[in-house]
Amino acid sequence: MKNLLKFLPAYCALFALASCSKPSETTDVTTEVEVSDTTSKYLSEPLISDHYTADPSAHVFDGKIYIYPSHDVESDVPEDDLGAHFNMMDYHVYSMDNPDAAIKDHGKVLGADDHPWAKRQLWAPDAAEKNGKYYLYFPAKDDKDIFKIGVAVGDSPIGPFTAQPEPIKGSYSIDPAVFEDSDGSYYMYFGGIWGGQLQKYRNNKFDDKGAAPTDGLPADDEPALGPIIAKMSDDMLQFVETPKEIKILDESGNPLLNGDNNRRFFEAAWIHKYMDKYYLSYSTGDTHFIAYATSDNPYGPFTYLGVVLNPVEGWTNHHSIVEVDGAWYIYYHDTQLSGKTHLRNIKVASLKHLPDGSIETIEPIKM
């Protein structure tokens, strides 16, 4: 903390400058603070320091890394357990030539005013490419304060993106992640409990089960809720099947229980494939781990194997995993710059698959 405090004036100056710039401009993000201080307690330093970013979704398109994060902002919304203070209203796109290169901000590519149905809380997005078209998927609350998932389409990884007039039919909750399988099929994984509203659904039907974050959750000795999967249509704009819940099992083949807070799913599902295995990684939420499970099938069931990323500074932990030139990386966030749980900064670190198929646990804070 001592190292961070001495840089706060520089950070504040950067944020003041950022508020005066035009968001549509393409800029190289330069770091004027000493984030490379060798005495830092952090494994990695922020990639962006002129404004706040979180929930980084990283992909390689045409040999370049593109990052689609949410854009954290300060607001007058009080903090609560449903995440109302995460009041993000637009998205930027960033690119890097490689994980060690400078990061470029391509400016605002989509905002709440760019589509008729999404009213607020534009939370963690994802992106996909198919046949030269690029698709930006995003959750947002509609005029009834219910999360749905929308899609915007562009001809470039950096947009501009044009939003579809309605959310994806049958979509709900948060944290869309679209995975392209080796056979050319695309699947969306989504869902998050508490503020993400997944606990309000059973068999894809909404039932407002109460205002408290835990209202609607299974009992602690019952199977935990899992993320949802649906195969995408050829045009990438809809589901071609009824969404299905994914089961995550323990080492004995039994479903993880709702009370198993260190291992059960909370939000932020992500899929990557390694050695013909499907790796489902996700946030455990209130215990702050990025855990993972594996399967031979994109629909699961998945068997829990361990932890990818230990807790970061800040209440949330949200990530993506991407292969770049044969090496693997995890993009994630913490609150190093602000110390506030709703004002985060994205980072990147190396990820290692071990010979037995497990993933070496990453410690984001040096011991």
Q: Which residues carry out catalysis? A: 55, 267
- Of 282, 335, 331, the C-alpha closest to 55 is 331
CA distance 40 to 366: 8
Judged by DSSP in three states, 84 sits in coil
Q: In the chain, which ranges are continuous DSSP H helix?
A: 2-5, 8-18
CA atoms within a 13 Å half-sphere pointing along the CA-CB vector of 10: 13
Q: Do 297 and 263 form a contact (C-beta atoms < 8 A)?
A: no
Beta-strand pair 302-309/248-249: parallel
End-to-end C-alpha distance for the chain, whole angstroms: 14
- Of 346, 248, 254, the C-alpha closest to 304 is 248
Residue 205 CB partners (closer than 8 Å, separation 6+): none
Which residue carries 């391509």 as its tokens? 106
Cβ density class 258-279: b for 16+ within 10 Å, e for less:
bebbebbbbbbbbbbeeeeebb
113: phi then psi, degrees, rounded to nearest 5: -80, -5
Other C-beta atoms closer than 10 Å to the C-beta of 160 total 15
Q: Do 334 and 314 form a contact (C-beta atoms < 8 A)?
A: yes
